[in-house]
Structure 1
Amino acid sequence: MTETSTQPLVIGVTGLNAIDSPGPGVAVIRALREGLGNVRIIGLAYESLEPGAYLHDWVDKTYHIPYPSAGVQALVERLEHIQTIEHMDVLIPNFDAELYNFIKVSAQLRLMGIHTFLPSHEQLDARDKLNLSAFGKKYNLHVPQSKNIHHANDLIKVAEELNYPMVVKGRFYEAQVVYNIDQAKKAFYHLSARWGTPVIVQEFVKGTEINVAALGNGQGNTLSIVPMRKLYITDKGKAWAGITIQDDSLLQVARDFTQATHWRGGFELEIMRDNNGKLFIMEVNPRFPAWIYLTAAAGQNQPAALVKMALGQPVEPFTDYKVGKIFIRYAWDHVTDVSEFQQLSAFGEL
């Protein structure tokens, strides 16, 4: 099926939680509708209050899917049921925690007629927070020192090596800058309770935060790179406003990462430029970021390009993007009827 077909391209998308720490789903959908035109969007939600499920101008139909902790068999059975109804052509997962399962079942999805364009488990593990320090050393990429710990008492020794301030990070999400042992222990207990252990303790790098959204073709080439500097950051560290910038050194870091990993699909580099201009990769997110629509607005529609690659269509590397494009996120009270919430909660679809 192609974008010029009279039949819509049916695309499943997760990550519909457009909250103060938003998932990428709604932004991905916005880019797909703009870049591909005739599409039918199937929302795949974990919870009944994910706002994207109720935005009917963007999402045509929403289904509950089981949490990643339910395992791959539950995921396959649910997607088989959805597929008999919707006949999805492509599926785009947008959460870190769900990627392992989706990668594992990608061959089964293909037999159902569902295309994906995902990294391998080996690629996923290589950039994991737990392995990022070793990855940086292996490929000569600048990465802050970090330690993985399982017990709060380990913080004392780690602090002697890294010094305060330090950054304490959850296994999947969240990070806190700490300035003493009491703050470090409080952060450890909070993050371990929420995301499990190990907890990552990372060297603090002072500087300017920059994010880079990029798209790898799985053969070592980067087809799209758009850097963004944060203009406004929430108390959770999320970009609430940002601007596209031009910097060849940032583009080269993204190319180096893709070449080293042969990354397949979208990814985001969280980079810190220190006071000496040195670029540190603080984190690698293995999927599109929540601000991904900015790439489309700047002239490089990464979600649309990913769909084409998933379908085996050729995609030429993007060469230019518009510098000085600003996004500003805002809150909007979407009003719906309780009957919609009840339908999604009770029957698992809306």
Structure 2
Amino acid sequence: MPRKKITIAITGLNNTDNPGPGVPFIRAIRESDRFETTVIGLAYENLEPGIYMEGITDKTYLIPYPSSGAEQLLARIEQIHRKNPIDVLIPNYDAELFTFIKNEGWLRERGIRTFLPGMESFMERTKDNLSSFGEKYDLKVPKSLPLTGAHQVDQLFEDLDFPVFVKGKFYDAYKAWDKHEVSTLFHKISAKWGLPVMVQEFVEGTEVNVIALGDGKGNTIGAVPMRKTYITDKGKAWGGITIDDEKMLSLTYDIIRKTKWRGGMELEMIRTRDNEYYIIEINPRLPAWLYLAVAAGQNLPEAMVRLALDEKVEPFHAFKSGKMFIRYSYDLIGDISLFESITVKGEL
């Protein structure tokens, strides 16, 4: 069966110590036996490693940050689309998803397909809404308090015990042991990601995650649980191993069924000593460790692209437990002319 030729535009090329999902997504789609893929990288910064990695993108363009305004971002997407017609667009950053979800119809009118959560689903699982989400869907979640000003830090002792986690609206999570640390982190995180800054109860246990894909009708196309084996100071998994955990899978299927989740998802959980599971975050896209799921037998990026193209996709029913990943640093060597091209021309 001949492979279908498609062009995919994808963000998330920052394959650093705080990696995006773009590079592993591309690796997965390059391995597909269904698609012959041309990959257009969409980069927000001129030093995102995915721009320069051999065999990753076929063409890369700089695009403006969503904070520059939806109009500028969409105008740049349209300009790129005229040069290189895009079949499927895969955004991978939480901060850009609002713009692309809101303008999904605009993209579809131009022949650009996406497979993203609905706006209601996207908004109800945000960090500042997680407590309400837990109540609505009968899930255990840590107690969380939003901070909109440093003066509120003094109130923390009334509702939470230390240590706590201090989290940004989109990214970053740090453990704090006293009010002074919380105040310092509040200023650091709010300057980067805006308000509110969330302070979350610390739940002791093992950090476990599930990567999943929902079809938007309540069905789970695929799900793979993982236990973190190495965690960076940014809270990112630098190593992990797939685990056979029926309770984690059951929780995932239940959430996707109740929310009718559409698109990729990562559930971040804490498993306590008495085998209780607390949802600490719900990320509205496939995570940076997604290639582990591919290695375990579920090519969720390929399935997502097929769903975006309105193809019928059968759910995965199995995966290999005991598959592990370890990230590593690698020095990319290139010529200054490559950097000049992406910086001056905005494309490479």
Q: TM-score if structure 1 supplies the norm length?
A: 0.97
1:235 to partner: Cα distance: 1.2
Change (3 A) 1:63 1:137: same
Deviations along 1:72-98, whole A, 9 cap, x unmatched? 211221111111121111010000000
2:324 corresponds to: 326
2:199 corresponds to: 201
Pairing 1:283–2:281 present: yes
Deviations along 1:286-314, whole A, 9 cap, x unmatched? 11100001111100111100000000000
2:3 corresponds to: 4
1:71-150 to 2 correspondences below 5 Å: 71-150=69-148
Q: Give the gaps of 5 or more residues in structure 2.
A: none
1:225 corresponds to: 223
Q: Helix, strand or coil: the match of 2:41? A: strand
Counterpart of 2:59 in structure 1: which amino acid?
K
Which of 2, 11, 14 in structure 2 is aligned with 1:14?
Answer: 11
For 2:190 and 2:20, how far apart are their aligned partners in 1?
Answer: 22
Q: Helix, strand or coil: the match of 2:209? A: strand
Which of 20, 31, 34 in structure 1 is aligned with 2:31?
Answer: 34
Q: Helix, strand or coil: the match of 2:297? A: coil
The answer on whether the counterparts of 1:299 and 1:320 sit within 8 Å (CA) in structure 2 is yes
Q: Helix, strand or coil: the match of 1:130? A: helix
Which of 60, 63, 66 in structure 2 is aligned with 1:62?
Answer: 60
The answer on whether the counterparts of 1:229 and 1:244 sit within 8 Å (CA) in structure 2 is yes
4+ residue runs over 3 A deviation: none
1:37 to partner: Cα distance: 4.5
Q: Helix, strand or coil: the match of 2:127? A: coil
Q: Helix, strand or coil: the match of 1:38? A: strand
1:155 to partner: Cα distance: 1.7
The answer on whether the counterparts of 1:24 and 1:290 sit within 8 Å (CA) in structure 2 is yes
1:243-322 to 2 correspondences below 5 Å: 243-322=241-320
Pairing 1:184–2:193 present: no
1:46 corresponds to: 44
1:175 corresponds to: 173
RMSD: 1.2
The answer on whether the counterparts of 1:72 and 1:104 sit within 8 Å (CA) in structure 2 is no
For 1:109 and 1:168, how far apart are their aligned partners in 2?
Answer: 36
Deviations along 1:247-293, whole A, 9 cap, x unmatched? 10000111121122111000100000012110000001111100001
Q: Helix, strand or coil: the match of 1:228? A: strand
The answer on whether the counterparts of 1:343 and 1:349 sit within 8 Å (CA) in structure 2 is yes
1:149-160 to 2 correspondences below 5 Å: 149-160=147-158
The answer on whether the counterparts of 1:272 and 1:279 sit within 8 Å (CA) in structure 2 is yes
Change (3 A) 1:181 1:212: same
Counterpart of 1:56 in structure 2: which amino acid?
E
Q: Helix, strand or coil: the match of 1:118? A: coil
Pairing 1:345–2:343 present: yes
1:153 to partner: Cα distance: 2.1
1:161 to partner: Cα distance: 0.8
1:238 to partner: Cα distance: 0.7
Q: Helix, strand or coil: the match of 1:81? A: helix
1:3 to partner: Cα distance: 6.9
For 1:204 and 1:324, how far apart are their aligned partners in 2?
Answer: 28
For 1:56 and 1:81, how far apart are their aligned partners in 2?
Answer: 25
For 1:14 and 1:83, how far apart are their aligned partners in 2?
Answer: 15
Q: TM-score if structure 2 supplies the norm length?
A: 0.97
Of the structure 1 ranges 23-32 and 80-89, higher mean CA displacement relative to structure 2 is found in 80-89
Q: Calculate percent identity across the aligned residue pairs.
A: 51
For 2:72 and 2:291, how far apart are their aligned partners in 1?
Answer: 31
Deviations along 1:143-163, whole A, 9 cap, x unmatched? 111111111221221222111
For 2:31 and 2:2, how far apart are their aligned partners in 1?
Answer: 12
Of the structure 1 ranges 157-166 and 15-24, higher mean CA displacement relative to structure 2 is found in 157-166
For 1:83 and 1:182, how far apart are their aligned partners in 2?
Answer: 49
Aligned residues: 347
Q: Give the gaps of 5 or more residues in structure 1.
A: none
For 2:244 and 2:250, how far apart are their aligned partners in 1?
Answer: 12
